Amino acid sequence: MANIDVRAVNTIRTLAADVVQKSNSGHPGAPMGCAPIAHTVFHRFIRANPKNPKWLGRDRFVLSNGHACALQYILLHLCGYDVSINDLQTFRQIGSKLPGHPENFMTAGIEVSTGPLGQGICNAVGMAIAEAHMAATYNKDGFTVFDNYTFVLLGDGCLQEGVQAEAVSLAGHLKLGKLIALYDDNHITIDGETTFSFTEDVDKRFQAYGWHTLVVADGDNDLKAIEAAIIEAKNVTDKPTIIRIRTTIGYGSGKAGTAGVHGAPLGDSDIVNVKGKFGFDATQKFFVPPEVHEHYKIFGQRGQELESKWNALFEQYKAKYPELASELVRRVTNQLPANIKDLLPKYTTSDAPQATRKLSESVLNAVAPHLPELVGGSADLTHSNLTRWKTAKDFQPPSTKLGDYAGRYIRFGVREHGMAAICNGIHAYGGLIPFGATFLNFISYAVGASRLSQLSHHQILYILTHDSIGLGEDGPTHQPIETLATLRATPNGLTFRPADGNEVSGAYYAALINNKRPSFFALSRQNAPQLPNTSIENTLKGAYAIVDTPNPKLIIVGTGTETSLAFSAGEELTKAGIPTKVVSMPCMELFDEQPEQYKLSVFNDGVPALSVEALSTFGWDKYAHAHVGMTTFGLSGPYLEVYKKFGIIHEEVVKKGKQLVEFYKGKQAVSRLAKPF
Amino acid sequence: MANIDVRAVNTIRTLAADVVQKSNSGHPGAPMGCAPIAHTVFHRFIRANPKNPKWLGRDRFVLSNGHACALQYILLHLCGYDVSINDLQTFRQIGSKLPGHPENFMTAGIEVSTGPLGQGICNAVGMAIAEAHMAATYNKDGFTVFDNYTFVLLGDGCLQEGVQAEAVSLAGHLKLGKLIALYDDNHITIDGETTFSFTEDVDKRFQAYGWHTLVVADGDNDLKAIEAAIIEAKNVTDKPTIIRIRTTIGYGSGKAGTAGVHGAPLGDSDIVNVKGKFGFDATQKFFVPPEVHEHYKIFGQRGQELESKWNALFEQYKAKYPELASELVRRVTNQLPANIKDLLPKYTTSDAPQATRKLSESVLNAVAPHLPELVGGSADLTHSNLTRWKTAKDFQPPSTKLGDYAGRYIRFGVREHGMAAICNGIHAYGGLIPFGATFLNFISYAVGASRLSQLSHHQILYILTHDSIGLGEDGPTHQPIETLATLRATPNGLTFRPADGNEVSGAYYAALINNKRPSFFALSRQNAPQLPNTSIENTLKGAYAIVDTPNPKLIIVGTGTETSLAFSAGEELTKAGIPTKVVSMPCMELFDEQPEQYKLSVFNDGVPALSVEALSTFGWDKYAHAHVGMTTFGLSGPYLEVYKKFGIIHEEVVKKGKQLVEFYKGKQAVSRLAKPF
């Protein structure tokens, strides 16, 4: 360990102490303990250009223990990214680019938002999948366009999370040789010693998954050993590698090696002690020795050289493979093929009823062959979710003979949460639009990750079938009630429950053109008729009249398979002397974004509105004055009987429509869309 | 393998084919493949009384692969439970006691609701924890009151789920020697071969967790080997055991060993084939040979004898340990200690402001020593959730010297989903009220299990701190926005966001007296003042006026830490000539259950209402006409600045109150609680 490396490591440690102290909030322990790992990885290995953080050929680094982000911010500063000492002094303040946990859209050089434990390692698995896929798709003899490693730093917390277990098991199966996990084995969690609750043999567990495992006994001081282990890991290309590195949390602090340094500033006197121990001037804050800055220049130089070489190679590639090259450029710049809208199926009312999951399959069959950036699969429900298009090839290690890395259909296994977190990583890699599928009810298993799709602006398609009590016999354990409320209440997503073929096509189109947020499709198991006035364009408005009438006395608004109920009830009520407007509402969020005038043209002021949706009525008061829907769990039985049991049938909608009109006689039905602010 | 056992196994197989065929829906493959396992476990091992399925001393059996429930229903029939051949013919129909996946409250002999994969094995871990704890608490020399095994049958699906990984890792740490997992290793998932996505070495993984592992090579025919393995497993008392049993899914069917037998009826011709193969009359449906019925009589005889002995033992125990015995009887009959309400802290407005998490800690300190059925802990956030009461002792294997099995504080580790699923199992065991704690934001990781707490009527306390953007610096990755919408939209739970000390006490009281549903407490990191008119009794109403006025022009309703904002804004508005009523709404669900008259006395017809809550406004239209709250993700920063950034401050509430009153001038503000049906 050269003196300058020791100096660099201790610079990171003292900076981390200062950063957290200044913000008076944060986690100094992990940054101080992981400084040797971070220094070694960034200084010796990571190939990236701080002046162009989005360079496609870069190595990826993920901080899965996101609470240690002071560490990552410090490294970004030292490596020459757009993070200054002044920025470090704004850590965890409003207006800072350095939030309390890493957010990919806040800070140049941050690949994914982490902090919720277990997510980052799964994102890294997704990135390694993406790399393997892009390499298999675009690399040619003499043209290694894709060839990066994915490094991920993680701690005991991440290793206890189930989402991690799902993703690392799949990573072993997929033989992702360019994934290198660095395990900060510090024996401490927030509650105290890992002996309290976490005594499994991590190495053996990862071996069971098919990972290569390495151990560094002294991660506090032995930089050579860390470096040697990473070199070995890079050379093992048929398996992912985890390097368990024994460290001391808060190394240098008087409370080193205890939970006391995990989540609170060290305090001024301990910082004086730390700086003294490492030979730093205790009176200097946020100090980076000039020689350490000098030492880190290699990072930017290396990255810029590599990018220059890569750019030259890609120019030659363009000349030799112009179509592939332009397709790749199109993909990484988030441009869709020009004809994508024309590819989407369209329907008329004379077309046969179909389940919306089946209509989704038709879209995939029509679009997937022309949209090479679309990759994904199901959490072991392929034949139920209908997500495998006819020409799909599996993404598999070639040795399995079940597919290869150029395949785009991912067999996620029964791993919903891991699937969603992996999709986040695939999208973060660039040039790919991932999708994941399961039953709508089991998005509940994955919300920890799908929430991060929303927060982190990931364009992901969640294909969620069996979307209500309409799944019938499987019963209440499988019948979603609250899931749409969850998705709709979470910011920055689009939740679709399309009524028919045109709305399914519209939902896909919206999902493809909205490249800064995920879309969730709630799709039916049972058939739905093709309705009048539905279209892609109307779907993009979120809600619109499928049956209009000049002076409605009632509005019935439906979604998905219940839109046809709204339609038939509306017909009967109109005939019975209650002119009824029928609104289809495939997407609340898109509707919310329409101008107020449009919203009030759909939900006219003075007209009571009744909603019909075979899931929880919670949230529907935003649009409608009364509801037909679920307020309890469902039941196991043939689906028409289940619908009847809960009164979500034609007769009940008609009856409740009449009751609602009656109720508002002599009362003013202020539109729910008319708002004071 | 005796002939009669073969006959019994094949009876199960043919019955399973008939049951699924008759309902024309369901899963025949796993029941047919697992028939030898189920027969061996039930016939040879399980100690339970079909005439008293809730006998406290019974062995527990959990079907983690719940889609195989035809198997469990058949076994319940054969063993003499209240499941008749007629009942089997109603499988998956409305009104049947045999739903499409097992539900604990629908069928005698079903311990927990399963089907959502991975849950059952975690429930079993919870039951084994409960058994170890009850044994350590109540057993005395010569009085082994608690001494049951927990058997769990699970498949590849469960083993891929992250929630499973969390719980089995903890089970290994806890050395739960009386937990026996039977792994149906059939190499098939819904998508096809396990080689598609699940190639890990399961035995090695469980060894890494500290489990004992056993293998049965021929689970289709070798009943002796299954029996021998279970005997060995029972004898290994310092570790849980998993027995991997190689089976053929749909054994007997023409499509045996393929995904084709997983989730659809076999069809009549294949059933003829199956019956022929097993020497059954193909024309007879739902046939149980008399000798098989005879063979199964031992189950009921054994159970009744064991219960009689147990009852006699317990009579002696009562005599020798009257206090312990009566406490135990109190607990298993869901009676609370008589003085529990008196133990709860009460506050006046002159008491100091406190964080509601801190007030929760005070409740635990006051109550836990007197409520021995309360067991639980945190997912590694003890010092943040403040869940460890002063006199708590850890639940740990005595060998760790960190506690013992009589301890009631469970160190769940960073395993939110596993924690919730384990709590379901602990509650299902009986005599225990479990609690689990994490940040409110990370209930999202656990919703797959907490939903089952709700569906399955489990009394569980979820202690969820850091309950809004008010957590400040940790930022949007940790700031809950949508979680309360999720919890409130899910049936059969109580979601509390208490405003002050009295409401925290009220929330706990409500949670303790509601023994057929879980309660969720959203608790603040930051201080909240003690407010007027708050009380335990008022909390039980769900919502009530803390400031009333004869003819209000405006109602402001708040929850949690924002109730004091509603209070201060109401004061200013009233002074400014807008008489304002202030409502505290600690629990929407309890309020929804009040008589309509009460509801309209809180939210008076004709008066516009404004809600204030620092989470998503989604769902609030049910009660209020306009909202102060979140419609985006939050930000990292000191909490007062974050509140200001999003306009959740006194000045904004005052301003929006005025705007709302202005908006409704000349309009009729129909109370959101006035409803046509």
SS (H, E, C) A497-515: CCCCHHHHHHHHHHHHHCC
Of B26, B445, B489, the CB nearest to A616: B489
Number of neighbours of residue A87 by Cβ within 10 angstroms: 17
Name B143's bridge partners: B140
Enter the tokens of residue B508: 């706990």
Give the Cα separation of A22 and A18 in Å (integer).
6
Query: What is the pLDDT, as a whole number, of residue A130?
Result: 98
Residue A117 contacts residue A86 (beta carbons within 8 Å): no
Enter the tokens of residue A431: 């040039």
Rounded alpha-carbon distances, angstroms, from residue A619 to B483, B588, B602, B616, B623:
13, 13, 21, 11, 11
CB contact under 8 A, B208 and A196: no
Query: What is the pLDDT, as a whole number, of residue A375?
Result: 98
Could you report the per-residue pLDDT of B348-396, keeping only the tens digit for each?
Answer: 999 999 999 999 999 999 999 999 999 999 999 999 999 999 999 999 9
Residue B100 contacts residue A471 (beta carbons within 8 Å): no
Pairing mode of beta strands B394-395, B241-246 = unpaired
CB contact under 8 A, B473 and A23: yes
Chain B partners within 8 Å of A200 (Cβ): 169, 172-173, 208-210
Enter the tokens of residue B183: 């792994």
CA distance B203 to chain A (A): 8
Q: Rounded to 5, what percent of chain A is helix, strand, coil? A: 45, 15, 40
DSSP string, A401-441: SS-BTT--B----S-HHHHHHHHHHHHHHSS-EEEEEEEGG
Give the Cα separation of B242 and B183 in Å (integer).
7
Number of neighbours of residue B96 by Cβ within 10 angstroms: 21
Residue B421 contacts residue B449 (beta carbons within 8 Å): yes
CA distance A647 to chain B (A): 13
Give the Cα separation of B436 and B421 in Å (integer).
10
Q: State in Å, rounded, how far the first CA of chain A is from the last one.
A: 63
Q: What residue type is B87 in one-letter code?
A: D
Q: What angle do CA A146, A148, A149 make, to 5 degrees?
A: 150
Q: Which residue of B has its CA nearest to A191?
A: B380
Query: What is the pLDDT, as a whole number, of residue A600?
Result: 98
Most A CBs within 10 Å, among B72, B189, B380, B479, to test the A interface: B380
Confidence tier at A579 by pLDDT (50, 70, 90)? very high
Name A611's bridge partners: A557, A627
Give the Cα separation of A467 and A474 in Å (integer).
12
Alpha helices, H only, A24-161? 29-40, 69-79, 85-88, 119-138, 156-160
Of B165, B637, B659, the CB nearest to A162: B165
Enter the tokens of residue A163: 């989402």
DSSP string, B343-405: HS----TTSPPEEHHHHHHHHHHHHGGG-TTEEEEESS-HHHHT---TT--EE--GGGSS-BT
> Which has the closest alpha carbon to A121: A49, A57, A74, A171?
A171
Query: What is the pLDDT, as a whole number, of residue A386?
Result: 98
Q: What is the mean pLDDT of residues A209-237?
A: 98
Let me know if domain A542-663 sits in CATH 3.40.50.920: yes
Angle between helices A356-367 and A501-513 (to 10 degrees): 50
Query: What is the pLDDT, as a whole number, of residue A128?
Result: 98
Which helix (H) or strand (E) is A13 found in, with range?
Answer: helix A3-23
Q: What is the mean pLDDT of residues B191-210?
A: 97
- Predicted confidence (pLDDT) at residue B1 exceeds the cutoff of 60: no
Residue A83 contacts residue A98 (beta carbons within 8 Å): yes
Give the Cα separation of B73 and B98 in Å (integer).
7
Q: What angle do CA A623, A629, A630 make, to 5 degrees?
A: 125
Give the Cα separation of B207 and B214 in Å (integer).
10
Q: What is the mean pLDDT of residues B159-179?
A: 98
Chain B partners within 8 Å of A616 (Cβ): 489-491
Provide ipTM, 2 decimals: 0.98
DSSP string, B321-332: -HHHHHHHHHHH
Query: Which residue carries 């350490």 as its tokens?
Result: A292
Angle between helices A3-23 and A69-79 (to 10 degrees): 130
Could you report the per-residue pLDDT of A348-387, keeping only the tens digit for each?
Answer: 999 999 999 999 999 999 999 999 999 999 999 999 999 9
Could you report the per-residue pLDDT of B247-276, keeping only the tens digit for each?
Answer: 999 999 999 999 999 999 999 999 999 999
Q: 3-state DSSP call for residue A495?
A: strand
Q: What is the mean pLDDT of residues A504-523?
A: 98
Enter the tokens of residue A537: 């364009």
A323 CA to centre of own chain:
30
Chain A partners within 8 Å of B453 (Cβ): none
- Residue spans per domain, chain B: 3-305, 340-528, 540-663
CB contact under 8 A, A101 and B677: no
Q: If you classify domain A3-305 with CATH, what class do you get?
A: alpha beta
CB-count burial class (<10 Å; 0-12, 13-18, 19+) for B597: exposed
Could you report the per-residue pLDDT of B493-520, keeping only the tens digit for each?
Answer: 999 999 999 999 999 999 999 999 999 9
Pairing mode of beta strands A354-355, A527-528 = antiparallel
Name B215's bridge partners: B244
Mean pLDDT score of chain A? 97
Give the Cα separation of B497 and B499 in Å (integer).
7
Give the Cα separation of A394 and A411 in Å (integer).
7
Pairing mode of beta strands B580-584, B544-547 = antiparallel
Residue B32 contacts residue B16 (beta carbons within 8 Å): yes
> pTM of the prediction?
0.99
Q: Is A161 annotated as catalytic?
A: no
Residue A599 contacts residue A672 (beta carbons within 8 Å): no
* Equal CATH topology for B340-528 and B540-663: yes
Residue B520 contacts residue B511 (beta carbons within 8 Å): no
CB contact under 8 A, B618 and A675: no
Enter the tokens of residue A278: 């490492």
CB contact under 8 A, A208 and B210: no
Pairing mode of beta strands B461-465, B519-523 = parallel
CB contact under 8 A, B162 and A162: yes
Q: 3-state DSSP call for residue B260?
A: helix
> Which has the closest alpha carbon to A568: A614, A603, A531, A527?
A531
Could you report the per-residue pLDDT of A248-276, keeping only the tens digit for each?
Answer: 999 999 999 999 999 999 999 999 999 99
Of A118, A196, A478, the CB nearest to B115: A478
Q: Which listed residue (A103, A131, A227, A416) is catalytic?
A: A416
CB contact under 8 A, A414 and B117: yes
Give the Cα separation of A664 and A160 in Å (integer).
55
Q: Rounded to 5, what percent of chain B is helix, strand, coil? A: 45, 15, 40
CB contact under 8 A, A162 and B157: no
Q: 3-state DSSP call for residue A176?
A: coil
Enter the CATH code of domain A340-528.
Answer: 3.40.50.970
Give the Cα separation of A30 and A43 in Å (integer).
19
Which helix (H) or strand (E) is B174 found in, with range?
Answer: helix B162-174
Could you report the per-residue pLDDT of A402-458, keeping only the tens digit for each?
Answer: 999 999 999 999 999 999 999 999 999 999 999 999 999 999 999 999 999 999 999
CA distance A512 to chain B (A): 22
Query: Which residue carries 């039953």 as its tokens?
Result: A439
Enter the tokens of residue A647: 């009164």
CA distance A68 to chain B (A): 11
Q: State in Å, rounded, how far the first CA of chain B is from the last one.
A: 63
CB contact under 8 A, A380 and B191: yes
- Predicted confidence (pLDDT) at residue B303 exceeds the cutoff of 90: yes
Query: What is the pLDDT, as a whole number, of residue B305?
Result: 98
Of A202, A381, A622, the CB nearest to B621: A622
Could you report the per-residue pLDDT of B468-488, keeping only the tens digit for each?
Answer: 999 999 999 999 999 999 999
B298 CA to centre of own chain:
33
Q: 3-state DSSP call for residue A245?
A: strand
Q: 3-state DSSP call for residue B125?
A: helix
- Predicted confidence (pLDDT) at residue A1 exceeds the cutoff of 70: no
CA distance A309 to chain B (A): 37
| Structural domain B540-663, CATH architecture | 3-Layer(aba) Sandwich (3.40)
Enter the tokens of residue A336: 């869709």
Query: What is the pLDDT, as a whole number, of residue B675?
Result: 94
Of B23, B411, B618, the CB nearest to A488: B618
- Predicted confidence (pLDDT) at residue A2 exceeds the cutoff of 80: no
Give the Cα separation of A324 and B120 in Å (integer).
49
Confidence tier at B436 by pLDDT (50, 70, 90)? very high
A213: which residues sit within 8 A by CB, 6+ positions away? A203, A206, A207, A241, A242, A243, A244
Give the Cα separation of A227 and A213 in Å (integer).
15
